[in-house]
Structure formats: C-alpha cells, structure tokens
Amino acid sequence: MTSKSPQRPAPFIKGLIPTLNHRGFMSESLDLFSRQFVSEAANLSAEVLDMGCAYGVATIAALQEGACVHACDMDAGHVNILVREIPPNLRGRLSTSVGALPDTEFPDERFGAILCARVLHFLRGQEIRTSLEKMYRWLRPGGKLYLVADTPYTGFWQAIVPEYERKKELGEEWPGFIDDIGALLESGSVPHGMLSYLNPLDADILARECHRVGLAVEEAGFFGRDGSDETRARHHAGVIAVKPGHGSPASAGS
C-alpha cells in the first residue's frame, strides 16, 4: 500500500507553518534579510542556494523574480511539497536536494548567493563553524551569504536572557546555548521529534563567525519575526557577508 504524499500543515498561528519534523516553523512572510537575498538573486545569472528551504517561501519568491534556485532541506517531505506547489512555468529554474548542515556537500564556487535562514540555531558551535566553512567554499568570489537565526529574545527560551547576557559579558563563545530545552517547557520534557538542545544566536556572534572563515560582513543586525523592519525588535538576527574576490557571480554564470 502506497503512503500518501505529505501535505503542507495548517498554520500553528497566523503566518507560521509547522515543519513536518517538528523542529520549528516556516514563516509565510519573508524577513528583512531574506527579502534582500531574493532581490540579489533576481540580478544573478549564477544559481543561488536556499539552504534549509522548508516549504520554500524564499525559493518561490526568488523564482518569481527570475532566479535559478537550488532548494535544499533535511526533510524530503518539505522538498516534495515545494516541488508540487511550484507553478509549472517556474520549474525549469528549480533544482532540489535533501540534506542538512553540516553534512551536506556541494561543489566549490557553485552558487552566486546563499540564504541560510533559521537553521544555524539548531546546530552546536563546531557544527556552525563547519557549516560556514562549507558555505564559504560553495560561494563564487563576490558572492553573498545571507544568514538569519533566532535569538534568545524570542520563543519560550526568552527565560535564558539574563543568563545569556551575563555569559556574553564574560566572553563565552556561545552564550545562548541551551543544553536541555525541556527544562524551559511547562511539561518539563521535550516533545517527540524536537531537539533536546538549542543555540540561539545574535548578530555579533554571526558576524564573528563570518569573519572567522574569511567573509567580509556588509550588514548585521536584529529585526522582527513578521518581515517588518522594526528597529527595536530582536526576534531574529541576521548577517549579510560577501566572499572576497575579483569574480562577479552574475557574469560568472553567464
């Protein structure tokens, strides 16, 4: 008996779609830095990567603007839903794969730009570093990396903010790391399928790790969860960083 193809779940709350693997949610609106990725991708003839694409909110937006996109996610169900929902006229500029950071691999200098949105806070410190080293290699010279991560100032883990700020003041490398998120939940335990740990990040940490692998940071900051440009919102942190070099991602792909 053949199992049914997975369907996109109903929103958990307005604008947030649960992932099939119970690890989080995909926002139905683009955040500030993801919008900038879409704008950049529209001007490139080189392929771009949406790493951790979920159901493809950024992938679809970039395709609609004329980009060639490779969409990659750890859950094959997410990729299947994305492919099924892509309008036929856009499918020729889409390729997909199933994979997760830090283990997935792509050829060096394949992409003109990379978006990695709301993925890194699910990784431990060394996994983040390995992932950034890989994404640096995957970028063409002059290509840009767009990172978005959840911060300690959002979700049920806001309870760690005083401890996070204390650890950051002391110079700890990963001050937001939570080794047992069950302790922060009312139930006292982690729901099935959910990671037992989390690593909320901030803009300073993202910028530091980009510098570490040789990327030049162009922009770093906080922003709101609903795609707004709220200057005081700190739900997400983002960085835009460029790989130094003389090549142009746009001309290199033509």
Could you tell me which residue, 107 or 189, shows the higher pLDDT? 107
pLDDT at residue number 12:
59
Q: Does residue 199 lie in a domain region? A: yes
Judged against a pLDDT cut of 60, whether residue 2 lies above it is answered with: no
Report how far residue 74's alpha carbon sits from residue 26's, in angstroms, rounded to the nearest whole number.
14
Q: State how many domains the chain has.
A: 1
Judged against a pLDDT cut of 70, whether residue 186 lies above it is answered with: no
Q: Does residue 165 lie in a domain region? A: no
Chain mean pLDDT for the chain: 87
Q: CA 242 from chain center: how many Å?
A: 16
Report how far residue 185's alpha carbon sits from residue 180's, in angstroms, rounded to the nearest whole number.
10
pLDDT at residue number 1:
36
Average the pLDDT over 79-98 and give the result.
Answer: 94
Average the pLDDT over 63-87 and give the result.
Answer: 94
Q: Does residue 4 lie in a domain region? A: no
Work out whether strand 236-242 and strand 139-150 pair parallel, antiparallel, or are unpaired.
antiparallel
What is the reported pTM? Answer: 0.90
pLDDT at residue number 136:
98
State pLDDT tens for residues 6-65. Answer: 777 665 566 556 665 666 666 667 988 999 999 999 999 999 999 999 888 999 999 999
The residues, any chain, with a CB within 8 Å of residue 190's CB and separated by 6 or more, are: 181, 182, 196
Could you tell me which residue, 85 or 145, shows the higher pLDDT? 145
Determine the structural domain holding residue 86 and report its residue range: 16-153+171-252
Q: Does residue 160 lie in a domain region? A: no
Report how far residue 141's alpha carbon sits from residue 113's, in angstroms, rounded to the nearest whole number.
10
Domain of 100, CATH number, reads 3.40.50.150
* Neighbouring C-beta atoms of residue 128, cutoff 10 Å: 24
Q: CA 36 from chain center: how many Å?
A: 13
